[in-house]
A and B are shown apart, each in its own frame.
Chain A
Amino acid sequence: MAHVLVFTEFANGQLKKGSLELLSAARKSGLKIQALALGTGAKGLADALGKEGVDEAIVGDNAAFDKYNPELFTEVVAGILSGKKPEVVLASSTMLARDLFPRVAARIGTGVTSDCTEIEISSSGDVKARRPMYAGKCTAEVAFENSPSKIVLMRPNQLTITPATAAKSPTVEEVSAPAKDLKTLVKEIVKGTSGKLDLTEANIIVAGGRGMKEPGNFKMLEDLADVLGATVGASRAVVDAGWVPHTMQVGQTGKTVAPTLYIAAGISGAIQHLAGMSGSKVIVAINKDANAPIFQKATYGIVGDAFEIVPLLTEEFKKLLHH
Chain B
Amino acid sequence: MKIYVCIKQVPDTETKIKLKADNGGIDPTGVKWVMNPYDEFAVEEALKLKEGGKATSVTVITLGPKARVVEALRTALAMGADDAVVVDAPEDLDPSATAKALAGAIKAEGGDFKFVLTGKLAIDDNAASVSQMLAEYLQAPHATVVSKLEAGDTNATIERETEGGTREVLQLTLPAVIAANKGLNMPRYASLPGIMKAKKKPVKELTLEAVGASAADIRVKFKNYQLPPEKPAVKMISGDSAAQAQTLAKLLREEAKVI
Contacts and interface: CB of A to CB of B under 8 A. Distances in A.
A and B together in one complex: yes
Interface of A: 68-71, 74, 94-96, 98-100, 102-103, 105-107, 110-115, 132-147, 182-194, 196-198, 200-201, 204, 228, 245-248, 252-253, 256, 260-261, 271-272, 275, 278, 281-282, 284-285, 295-305, 308-309, 312-313, 315-317, 319-321
B128 interface: yes
Nearest to B177: A103
B144 interface: yes
A138 B169 contact: no
A112 B220 contact: yes
Contacts of B132: 70, 99-100, 102-103, 106
Contacts of A103: 132-133, 135-136, 142
B209 interface: no
A59 to B, nearest CB: 22
B99 A99 contact: no
A144 B220 CA distance: 5
B216 interface: yes
B167 A190 contact: yes
Interface string B237-252: 1000110111011111
What 8 A-B pairs come out closest when comparing CB atoms? A192-B165, A111-B219, A102-B129, A312-B245, A316-B249, A106-B136, A198-B163, A140-B222
Interface in B209-256: 216, 218-228, 231-232, 234-237, 241-242, 244-246, 248-253, 256
B145 A95 contact: yes
B235 A145 contact: no
Given A96-B162, A194-B164, A261-B256, 19 more contacts: A68-B168, A70-B143, A106-B132, A114-B128, A135-B13, A137-B228, A140-B223, A146-B216, A184-B171, A190-B166, A193-B165, A200-B163, A246-B147, A246-B161, A295-B236, A300-B256, A312-B241, A312-B242, A317-B259
A146 B96 CA distance: 11
B80 to A, nearest CB: 23
Contacts of A110: 219
Interface of B: 11, 13-14, 16-17, 19, 26, 37-38, 94-96, 99, 123-133, 135-137, 140-145, 147, 157, 161-173, 176, 182-183, 216, 218-228, 231-232, 234-237, 241-242, 244-246, 248-253, 256, 258-259
A193 B167 CA distance: 10
B252 A183 contact: no
A308 B248 CA distance: 14
A236 to B, nearest CB: 9
6 contacts: A111-B96, A138-B227, A142-B220, A188-B169, A282-B258, A300-B248
Chain A binding surface, main DSSP class: mixed
B164 A113 contact: no
Given A106-B96, A253-B182, A136 B237 contact: no
A309 B244 contact: yes
Contact of A183 (B94, B126, B172): B172
Contact of B125 (A100, A133, A186, A261): A133
A264 B132 CA distance: 34
Nearest to A316: B249
A198 B237 CA distance: 30
A186 B26 CA distance: 41
A246 to B, nearest CB: 5
A83 B220 CA distance: 22
Contact of A197 (B99, B125, B164): B164
A282 B141 CA distance: 41
Contacts of B171: 184-185, 187
B252 A282 contact: yes
B252 A284 contact: yes
Nearest to B172: A184
B241 A305 contact: yes
Nearest to A321: B259
A145 B221 contact: yes
B141 A139 contact: no
A71 B126 contact: no
B128 A105 contact: no
B234 A295 contact: yes
A320 B166 CA distance: 33
Given A114-B129, A281-B258, A70 B142 contact: yes
B225 A140 contact: yes
Contacts of B16: 137
B4 to A, nearest CB: 18
Contact of A308 (B161, B173, B219, B241): B241
Contacts of B235: 299-301
Contact of A114 (B127, B140, B231): B127
B163 A145 contact: no
B216 A133 contact: no
Given A184-B170, A275-B13, A320 B161 contact: no
A99 B13 contact: no
A141 B37 contact: no
Contact of B246 (A71, A301, A316): A316
Contacts of A285: 234
B94 to A, nearest CB: 7
Contacts of B251: 300
